[in-house]
Structure 1
Amino acid sequence: MKKLIFLALLLSSLTGWSQSPIAYDFFDQALKKAETGNLKGAIADYTKAIRADPLFAEAYLNRALLKQKSGDIKGALDDVNKTIIIEPKKGDAYTTRADINYKAKNYTGAIEDCTISITLNPKDYIAYNLRGLSNIHIQNKKNACADFTKAIKLGSQSAVKNKKMFCK
Protein backbone atom coordinates (compact mmCIF):
# COMPACT_ATOMS: atom_id res chain seq x y z
CA MET A 1 0.00 0.00 0.00
CA LYS A 2 2.83 2.42 0.87
CA LYS A 3 4.44 1.72 -2.51
CA LEU A 4 1.17 2.46 -4.30
CA ILE A 5 0.73 5.79 -2.48
CA PHE A 6 4.35 6.72 -3.19
CA LEU A 7 3.92 5.84 -6.87
CA ALA A 8 0.73 7.91 -7.10
CA LEU A 9 2.45 10.92 -5.51
CA LEU A 10 5.45 10.52 -7.80
CA LEU A 11 3.29 10.34 -10.92
CA SER A 12 1.15 13.31 -9.89
CA SER A 13 4.24 15.42 -9.22
CA LEU A 14 5.74 14.46 -12.58
CA THR A 15 2.61 15.42 -14.46
CA GLY A 16 2.61 18.74 -12.60
CA TRP A 17 6.09 19.46 -13.95
CA SER A 18 5.30 18.67 -17.56
CA GLN A 19 4.36 21.52 -19.87
CA SER A 20 0.91 21.65 -21.38
CA PRO A 21 0.90 20.73 -25.09
CA ILE A 22 -1.54 23.59 -25.66
CA ALA A 23 0.92 25.98 -24.02
CA TYR A 24 3.63 24.80 -26.43
CA ASP A 25 1.29 25.35 -29.39
CA PHE A 26 0.65 28.95 -28.35
CA PHE A 27 4.37 29.42 -27.65
CA ASP A 28 5.26 28.23 -31.16
CA GLN A 29 2.62 30.52 -32.69
CA ALA A 30 4.06 33.42 -30.69
CA LEU A 31 7.57 32.70 -31.97
CA LYS A 32 6.35 32.73 -35.57
CA LYS A 33 4.45 35.99 -35.08
CA ALA A 34 7.45 37.62 -33.40
CA GLU A 35 9.68 36.59 -36.32
CA THR A 36 7.37 38.40 -38.74
CA GLY A 37 7.24 41.53 -36.55
CA ASN A 38 3.72 40.98 -35.23
CA LEU A 39 4.56 41.96 -31.64
CA LYS A 40 0.96 42.38 -30.46
CA GLY A 41 -0.05 38.99 -31.84
CA ALA A 42 3.03 37.34 -30.34
CA ILE A 43 2.40 38.92 -26.94
CA ALA A 44 -1.21 37.71 -27.08
CA ASP A 45 -0.07 34.16 -27.89
CA TYR A 46 2.51 34.18 -25.08
CA THR A 47 -0.30 35.29 -22.77
CA LYS A 48 -2.38 32.31 -23.93
CA ALA A 49 0.58 29.98 -23.34
CA ILE A 50 0.96 31.38 -19.82
CA ARG A 51 -2.76 30.93 -19.14
CA ALA A 52 -2.42 27.29 -20.23
CA ASP A 53 0.68 26.83 -18.07
CA PRO A 54 1.24 29.54 -15.42
CA LEU A 55 4.75 28.19 -14.72
CA PHE A 56 5.99 28.48 -18.31
CA ALA A 57 9.08 30.57 -17.56
CA GLU A 58 10.29 30.81 -21.17
CA ALA A 59 6.93 32.26 -22.25
CA TYR A 60 7.18 34.94 -19.55
CA LEU A 61 10.74 35.77 -20.58
CA ASN A 62 9.92 35.98 -24.30
CA ARG A 63 6.87 38.09 -23.56
CA ALA A 64 9.05 40.36 -21.41
CA LEU A 65 11.43 40.89 -24.33
CA LEU A 66 8.57 41.80 -26.66
CA LYS A 67 6.96 44.09 -24.10
CA GLN A 68 10.29 45.86 -23.66
CA LYS A 69 10.63 46.18 -27.43
CA SER A 70 7.14 47.65 -27.67
CA GLY A 71 7.81 50.17 -24.88
CA ASP A 72 5.91 48.50 -22.03
CA ILE A 73 8.77 48.64 -19.52
CA LYS A 74 6.62 47.97 -16.45
CA GLY A 75 5.03 44.95 -18.11
CA ALA A 76 8.43 43.69 -19.22
CA LEU A 77 9.81 44.04 -15.71
CA ASP A 78 6.80 42.22 -14.23
CA ASP A 79 7.26 39.34 -16.68
CA VAL A 80 11.00 39.01 -16.18
CA ASN A 81 10.51 39.08 -12.40
CA LYS A 82 7.96 36.28 -12.73
CA THR A 83 10.48 34.32 -14.83
CA ILE A 84 13.06 34.68 -12.06
CA ILE A 85 10.56 33.54 -9.43
CA ILE A 86 9.78 30.42 -11.47
CA GLU A 87 13.38 29.70 -12.50
CA PRO A 88 15.79 31.55 -10.21
CA LYS A 89 18.84 30.03 -11.94
CA LYS A 90 17.90 31.25 -15.43
CA GLY A 91 20.85 33.52 -16.21
CA ASP A 92 19.39 35.13 -19.32
CA ALA A 93 16.43 36.36 -17.24
CA TYR A 94 18.86 38.37 -15.11
CA THR A 95 20.58 39.72 -18.23
CA THR A 96 17.17 40.75 -19.59
CA ARG A 97 16.27 42.47 -16.32
CA ALA A 98 19.69 44.15 -16.32
CA ASP A 99 18.96 45.52 -19.79
CA ILE A 100 15.60 46.84 -18.62
CA ASN A 101 17.24 48.43 -15.57
CA TYR A 102 19.98 49.93 -17.75
CA LYS A 103 17.46 51.53 -20.09
CA ALA A 104 15.58 52.85 -17.03
CA LYS A 105 18.90 54.36 -15.83
CA ASN A 106 18.97 52.06 -12.79
CA TYR A 107 22.65 51.31 -13.25
CA THR A 108 23.17 49.80 -9.81
CA GLY A 109 20.31 47.37 -10.42
CA ALA A 110 21.75 46.53 -13.84
CA ILE A 111 25.16 45.80 -12.30
CA GLU A 112 23.60 43.55 -9.65
CA ASP A 113 21.62 41.60 -12.24
CA CYS A 114 24.63 41.25 -14.55
CA THR A 115 26.69 39.95 -11.65
CA ILE A 116 24.07 37.29 -10.89
CA SER A 117 23.86 36.38 -14.57
CA ILE A 118 27.65 36.04 -14.81
CA THR A 119 27.67 33.87 -11.68
CA LEU A 120 25.11 31.58 -13.33
CA ASN A 121 26.76 31.72 -16.77
CA PRO A 122 30.39 32.91 -16.74
CA LYS A 123 30.40 33.04 -20.56
CA ASP A 124 27.60 35.62 -20.82
CA TYR A 125 29.48 38.31 -22.73
CA ILE A 126 26.32 40.40 -23.02
CA ALA A 127 26.17 40.65 -19.21
CA TYR A 128 29.86 41.62 -19.04
CA ASN A 129 29.40 44.30 -21.69
CA LEU A 130 26.21 45.64 -20.09
CA ARG A 131 27.83 45.66 -16.66
CA GLY A 132 30.74 47.58 -18.18
CA LEU A 133 28.39 50.19 -19.63
CA SER A 134 26.58 50.47 -16.30
CA ASN A 135 29.91 50.93 -14.52
CA ILE A 136 30.76 53.77 -16.93
CA HIS A 137 27.56 55.54 -15.88
CA ILE A 138 28.41 55.29 -12.19
CA GLN A 139 31.96 56.52 -12.86
CA ASN A 140 33.70 53.19 -12.20
CA LYS A 141 36.00 53.12 -15.21
CA LYS A 142 38.35 50.47 -13.81
CA ASN A 143 35.59 47.87 -13.42
CA ALA A 144 34.04 48.90 -16.72
CA CYS A 145 37.26 48.35 -18.64
CA ALA A 146 37.80 44.97 -16.94
CA ASP A 147 34.27 43.93 -17.97
CA PHE A 148 34.77 45.09 -21.56
CA THR A 149 38.04 43.13 -21.71
CA LYS A 150 36.33 39.97 -20.46
CA ALA A 151 33.42 40.45 -22.89
CA ILE A 152 35.90 40.82 -25.77
CA LYS A 153 37.63 37.57 -24.75
CA LEU A 154 34.22 35.90 -24.89
CA GLY A 155 33.51 37.23 -28.39
CA SER A 156 31.60 40.51 -27.96
CA GLN A 157 32.04 42.95 -30.85
CA SER A 158 30.13 45.68 -29.00
CA ALA A 159 32.62 45.48 -26.16
CA VAL A 160 35.46 46.17 -28.62
CA LYS A 161 33.80 49.47 -29.55
CA ASN A 162 32.97 50.28 -25.92
CA LYS A 163 36.51 49.62 -24.76
CA LYS A 164 37.92 51.87 -27.49
CA MET A 165 35.48 54.61 -26.55
CA PHE A 166 35.66 54.51 -22.75
CA CYS A 167 39.01 52.94 -21.82
CA LYS A 168 41.57 55.31 -23.28
Structure 2
Amino acid sequence: MIYEALSYAEKNNVLIVTSAGNTGLNLDEVMTHPRKKYKNHCLSNLIMVGLSDSIVGPKLKPVRGSYGKHTVDLFAHGTDFLTTNPKNEYYKPSGSSISSAIVATTCATMKLYYPQLKASEIREIVIQSVSKYNGEIFLDEEENTKASFTELSEAGGILNIENAFSLASKR
Protein backbone atom coordinates (compact mmCIF):
# COMPACT_ATOMS: atom_id res chain seq x y z
CA MET A 1 0.00 0.00 0.00
CA ILE A 2 2.90 2.35 0.71
CA TYR A 3 4.21 2.01 -2.83
CA GLU A 4 0.76 2.48 -4.32
CA ALA A 5 0.54 5.78 -2.44
CA LEU A 6 4.05 6.79 -3.50
CA SER A 7 3.24 5.94 -7.12
CA TYR A 8 0.06 8.01 -6.88
CA ALA A 9 2.12 10.91 -5.52
CA GLU A 10 4.59 10.47 -8.39
CA LYS A 11 1.79 10.59 -10.99
CA ASN A 12 0.53 13.79 -9.36
CA ASN A 13 3.92 15.54 -9.30
CA VAL A 14 4.44 15.29 -5.54
CA LEU A 15 7.98 15.09 -4.19
CA ILE A 16 8.61 12.90 -1.14
CA VAL A 17 11.62 13.58 1.10
CA THR A 18 12.48 10.94 3.69
CA SER A 19 15.28 10.45 6.18
CA ALA A 20 17.78 7.60 5.99
CA GLY A 21 17.65 7.08 9.73
CA ASN A 22 20.14 7.02 12.55
CA THR A 23 21.09 3.35 12.82
CA GLY A 24 24.48 3.71 11.14
CA LEU A 25 23.62 0.86 8.76
CA ASN A 26 24.30 0.48 5.06
CA LEU A 27 20.76 0.65 3.68
CA ASP A 28 21.86 -1.08 0.48
CA GLU A 29 22.20 -4.19 2.66
CA VAL A 30 19.25 -3.67 5.04
CA MET A 31 15.63 -3.42 3.89
CA THR A 32 14.01 -0.15 4.88
CA HIS A 33 10.99 1.69 3.51
CA PRO A 34 10.30 3.79 1.65
CA ARG A 35 13.01 3.46 -0.96
CA LYS A 36 13.23 4.46 -4.63
CA LYS A 37 13.52 0.94 -5.97
CA TYR A 38 11.42 -1.86 -4.57
CA LYS A 39 10.07 -4.85 -6.50
CA ASN A 40 8.47 -3.41 -9.65
CA HIS A 41 8.58 0.20 -8.39
CA CYS A 42 11.20 2.72 -9.47
CA LEU A 43 10.20 6.11 -8.10
CA SER A 44 11.45 9.39 -9.55
CA ASN A 45 9.83 11.50 -6.83
CA LEU A 46 11.58 10.23 -3.70
CA ILE A 47 14.69 11.69 -2.05
CA MET A 48 16.33 9.84 0.85
CA VAL A 49 18.57 12.05 2.98
CA GLY A 50 21.43 11.00 5.22
CA LEU A 51 22.85 12.80 8.25
CA SER A 52 26.03 14.84 7.99
CA ASP A 53 27.94 16.95 10.47
CA SER A 54 28.94 20.55 9.87
CA ILE A 55 32.66 19.82 10.30
CA VAL A 56 34.43 18.47 7.23
CA GLY A 57 36.71 15.55 8.01
CA PRO A 58 36.68 11.84 8.84
CA LYS A 59 33.56 12.25 11.01
CA LEU A 60 31.57 14.21 8.40
CA LYS A 61 29.03 11.39 8.45
CA PRO A 62 28.36 10.65 12.11
CA VAL A 63 28.75 6.95 12.93
CA ARG A 64 25.03 6.70 13.71
CA GLY A 65 24.06 8.14 10.30
CA SER A 66 22.75 5.54 7.85
CA TYR A 67 24.13 5.44 4.31
CA GLY A 68 23.92 3.54 1.03
CA LYS A 69 25.33 4.20 -2.44
CA HIS A 70 22.13 3.00 -4.12
CA THR A 71 19.59 3.91 -1.46
CA VAL A 72 20.58 7.24 0.10
CA ASP A 73 20.54 10.12 -2.38
CA LEU A 74 22.56 12.76 -0.55
CA PHE A 75 23.54 14.04 2.87
CA ALA A 76 22.58 17.27 4.62
CA HIS A 77 23.67 18.94 7.83
CA GLY A 78 21.71 17.64 10.78
CA THR A 79 23.84 17.93 13.92
CA ASP A 80 23.52 20.45 16.74
CA PHE A 81 20.78 22.33 14.93
CA LEU A 82 19.69 25.24 17.14
CA THR A 83 15.91 25.41 17.44
CA THR A 84 13.19 25.76 20.06
CA ASN A 85 11.08 23.15 21.81
CA PRO A 86 7.39 23.31 22.85
CA LYS A 87 8.45 24.84 26.18
CA ASN A 88 9.92 27.83 24.28
CA GLU A 89 13.46 26.81 25.19
CA TYR A 90 16.48 26.51 22.92
CA TYR A 91 18.02 23.11 22.29
CA LYS A 92 20.19 21.38 19.69
CA PRO A 93 18.69 18.18 18.28
CA SER A 94 20.62 16.04 15.81
CA GLY A 95 19.58 13.39 13.31
CA SER A 96 18.58 12.63 9.77
CA SER A 97 15.08 14.01 10.48
CA ILE A 98 16.70 17.45 10.72
CA SER A 99 18.68 16.74 7.53
CA SER A 100 15.59 15.69 5.60
CA ALA A 101 13.65 18.74 6.83
CA ILE A 102 16.38 21.00 5.43
CA VAL A 103 16.22 19.22 2.06
CA ALA A 104 12.41 19.33 2.05
CA THR A 105 12.47 23.07 2.77
CA THR A 106 14.98 23.58 -0.04
CA CYS A 107 12.77 21.64 -2.47
CA ALA A 108 9.60 23.48 -1.42
CA THR A 109 11.29 26.85 -1.81
CA MET A 110 12.64 25.81 -5.21
CA LYS A 111 9.11 24.86 -6.30
CA LEU A 112 7.88 28.26 -5.10
CA TYR A 113 10.48 30.13 -7.18
CA TYR A 114 10.37 27.76 -10.16
CA PRO A 115 6.80 26.41 -10.32
CA GLN A 116 7.36 24.94 -13.78
CA LEU A 117 9.75 22.33 -12.37
CA LYS A 118 8.41 18.82 -11.92
CA ALA A 119 9.08 16.82 -8.76
CA SER A 120 11.50 14.58 -10.64
CA GLU A 121 13.40 17.63 -11.94
CA ILE A 122 13.73 19.12 -8.45
CA ARG A 123 15.03 15.78 -7.20
CA GLU A 124 17.55 15.66 -10.04
CA ILE A 125 18.70 19.25 -9.44
CA VAL A 126 19.22 18.73 -5.70
CA ILE A 127 21.23 15.56 -6.32
CA GLN A 128 23.34 17.02 -9.14
CA SER A 129 24.24 20.18 -7.21
CA VAL A 130 25.80 18.66 -4.08
CA SER A 131 29.17 19.63 -2.66
CA LYS A 132 31.61 16.74 -2.83
CA TYR A 133 34.05 15.66 -0.16
CA ASN A 134 36.65 13.20 -1.43
CA GLY A 135 38.00 12.15 1.95
CA GLU A 136 37.47 8.97 3.92
CA ILE A 137 34.85 8.64 6.63
CA PHE A 138 34.90 6.48 9.75
CA LEU A 139 32.02 4.01 9.77
CA ASP A 140 32.49 2.74 13.33
CA GLU A 141 33.16 4.19 16.78
CA GLU A 142 36.55 2.46 16.99
CA GLU A 143 37.61 4.21 13.75
CA ASN A 144 38.72 0.92 12.20
CA THR A 145 36.42 0.87 9.18
CA LYS A 146 36.66 3.65 6.59
CA ALA A 147 34.94 4.40 3.32
CA SER A 148 35.14 7.17 0.75
CA PHE A 149 32.42 9.73 1.46
CA THR A 150 31.60 9.88 -2.27
CA GLU A 151 30.61 6.19 -2.11
CA LEU A 152 28.11 6.57 0.74
CA SER A 153 25.25 8.02 -1.33
CA GLU A 154 24.08 8.29 -4.92
CA ALA A 155 25.15 11.92 -5.19
CA GLY A 156 28.33 11.38 -3.20
CA GLY A 157 27.94 14.71 -1.47
CA ILE A 158 26.14 17.18 0.77
CA LEU A 159 23.22 19.47 -0.05
CA ASN A 160 24.41 22.75 -1.54
CA ILE A 161 21.45 25.12 -1.63
CA GLU A 162 23.25 27.83 -3.60
CA ASN A 163 24.31 25.36 -6.31
CA ALA A 164 20.80 23.90 -6.44
CA PHE A 165 19.13 27.26 -7.02
CA SER A 166 21.74 28.24 -9.57
CA LEU A 167 21.07 25.03 -11.50
CA ALA A 168 17.29 25.46 -11.18
CA SER A 169 17.49 28.99 -12.62
CA LYS A 170 18.97 27.56 -15.83
CA ARG A 171 16.01 25.25 -16.49
Q: TM-score range by the shorter chain?
A: under 0.3
Larger Rg, first or second structure (1 or 2): 1
Structure in which a larger fraction of residues adopt helix = 1
Higher strand share: 2
Given the two structures, how large is their TM-score scaled by the length of structure 1?
0.28
Pick 1 or 2: higher relative contact order, CA cutoff 8 A, min separation 6.
2
